[in-house]
């Protein structure tokens, strides 16, 4: 099955058939597999001569342009990276940065103009079926399941189209249902579940056939905090205990910060940062300061807002509490401005920058040429 929006699951065969085509979307609630072939996963996947089994996904010089002439858009611009087996990599970027095009190019639903992709050492142009045999994807949320089928039937169905005998992975399905708090709903049709539960079924379906590399687009979108945490824990467990490789695209920085070993940040089709979360956080010249003072009035808050991009202000019983995110120069300037305005500082607290601060800094170009 080709990875595609609203279907979300792949194995080698259809990806082989459609590599290079823009895949169409299909509604995800009916049409129970009538036109789907059950394919058998190749018995053995021969690594190529350059195979490195520690590298799950290797992308080299990937580019994709849409359109011609003045209106052409370079969605992905000469991108390259390796993703180690068993790691969880977050793909971040503002809207239009090229994340979806990059993922679709890797999955073979968009034909790149240049570059190559190897999955577990296998070039997907040369041997797409083998390359995709252990890949699965959940794109654009909770629409890849068959709503007339029960939760467990979905898991069995998706295991089957991944080329796996569903009876042989029953334990895995039991564990997925337990880990994702879906046991009580195992025999309920998916259409009768809440949105968050449907999202969890989508993830379970992606993992049902024993994929070794999964691409997840906004996997926690629409989940409540508890469900999101459960899902994050399960992803970490699968990566650590079962060597699952995950490429995760999300706008939720907390999720990325918590679950990812490494982060790729895209902007204008290029990768502008590629590092661990810790390294990105320690490398930032971003300071977040909270200052409380009775002397800060609305007029001063407006002046500060005019000068500093990221300023939050809260009216307190007496005065204001402001929060400013800035670099070192801005911090000195802020303190000088407050001193010149005769402000007595009641409380000054620095808050560690988080991934969101780093992301804003990088994608707004504040950090120079990294």
| 223: helix, strand or coil | coil
Q: Which is nearer to ligand ATP, 59 or 197 (CB)?
A: 59
* Cα angle 279, 74, 246; round to 5: 40
Binding residue for ligand ATP, selected from 42, 96, 189, 210, defined by CB under 6 A: 96
Q: Which is nearer to ligand ATP, 128 or 141 (CB)?
A: 141
Binding span for ligand ATP by CB under 6 A among 99-107, 225-233, 316-324, 339-347: 99-107
Residue 90 binding ligand ATP, by CB under 6 A: no
CA-CA distance, 315 to 294, in Å (whole number)? 10
Residue 98 binding ligand ATP, by CB under 6 A: yes
Residue 73 binding ligand ATP, by CB under 6 A: yes
Q: Which is nearer to ligand ATP, 98 or 209 (CB)?
A: 98
| 4: helix, strand or coil | coil
CA-CA distance, 151 to 171, in Å (whole number)? 15
* 320-326 β-sheet, strand order: 310-315, 320-326, 287-293, 347-351
Q: Which is nearer to ligand ATP, 150 or 249 (CB)?
A: 249
In the chain, DSSP assigns E strands to 55-66, 73-84, 88-92, 114-119, 122-123, 135-138, 213-217, 245-249, 262-267, 270-275, 287-293, 310-315, 320-326, 347-351
Residue 79 binding ligand ATP, by CB under 6 A: no
Site string for ligand ATP, 338-357 (x = CB under 6 A): --------------------
Interface size with ligand ATP, residues (CB under 6 A): 12
DSSP string, 234-256: HHHHHHHHH--EEEEE-S-HHHH
- CA 141 from chain centre, in angstroms, equals 11
Residue 23 binding ligand ATP, by CB under 6 A: no
Residue 112 binding ligand ATP, by CB under 6 A: no
Phi, psi of 88 (to 5 degrees): -115, 115
CB of residue 104 vs ligand ATP: minimum separation in angstroms? 8
Query: Residues with Cβ < 8 Å from 271, sequence gap 6 or more?
Result: 79, 80, 81, 264, 265
Residue 44 binding ligand ATP, by CB under 6 A: no
Binding span for ligand ATP by CB under 6 A among 2-10, 96-104, 156-164, 192-200: 96-104
8 A C-beta contact, residue 188 and residue 151: yes
Residue 99 binding ligand ATP, by CB under 6 A: yes
Binding residue for ligand ATP, selected from 88, 97, 124, 137, defined by CB under 6 A: 97
Binding residue for ligand ATP, selected from 2, 18, 87, 100, defined by CB under 6 A: 100
Catalog residues that contact ligand ATP under the rule CB under 6 A.
Answer: 66-67, 73, 75, 93, 95-101
């Amino acid at each position: 099955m080709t990875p595609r929006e609203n279907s979300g699951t792949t194995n080698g065969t259809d990806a082989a058939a459609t590599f290079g085509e823009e895949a169409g979307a299909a509604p995800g609630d009916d049409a129970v597999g009538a036109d789907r072939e059950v394919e058998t996963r190749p018995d053995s996947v021969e690594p190529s001569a350059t195979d490195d089994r520690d590298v799950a996904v290797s992308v080299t010089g990937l580019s994709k342009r849409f359109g011609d002439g003045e209106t052409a858009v370079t969605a992905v611009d000469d991108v390259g990276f390796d993703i180690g087996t068993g790691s969880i990599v977050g793909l971040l970027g503002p809207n239009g940065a090229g994340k979806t095009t990059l993922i679709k190019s890797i999955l073979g639903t968009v034909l790149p103009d240049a570059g190559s992709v190897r999955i577990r050492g296998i070039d997907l142009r040369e041997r797409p079926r083998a390359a995709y045999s252990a890949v699965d994807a959940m794109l654009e949320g909770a629409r890849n399941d068959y709503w007339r089928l029960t939760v467990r039937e979905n898991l069995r169905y998706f295991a089957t189209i991944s080329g796996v005998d569903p009876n042989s992975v029953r334990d895995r399905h039991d564990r997925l249902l337990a880990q994702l708090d879906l046991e009580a709903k195992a025999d309920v049709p998916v259409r009768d579940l809440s949105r968050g539960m449907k999202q969890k079924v989508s993830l379970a379906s992606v993992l049902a056939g024993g994929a070794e590399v999964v691409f997840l687009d906004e996997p926690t979108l629409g989940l409540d905090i508890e469900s999101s945490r459960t899902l994050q824990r399960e992803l970490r467990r699968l990566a650590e205990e079962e060597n699952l490789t995950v490429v995760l695209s999300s706008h939720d920085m907390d999720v990325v910060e918590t679950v990812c070993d490494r982060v790729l940040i895209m902007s204008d089709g290029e990768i502008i940062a590629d590092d661990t979360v810790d390294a990105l956080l320690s490398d930032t010249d971003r300071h977040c300061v909270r200052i409380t003072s009775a002397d800060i009035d609305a007029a001063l808050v407006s002046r500060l807002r005019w000068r500093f991009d990221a300023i939050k202000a809260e009216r307190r019983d007496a005065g204001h509490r402001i929060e400013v995110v800035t670099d070192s120069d801005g911090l000195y300037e802020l303190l000088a401005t407050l001193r010149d305005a005769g402000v007595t500082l009641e409380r000054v607290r620095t808050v560690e920058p988080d991934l969101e601060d780093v992301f804003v800094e990088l994608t707004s170009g504040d950090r120079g040429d990294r």
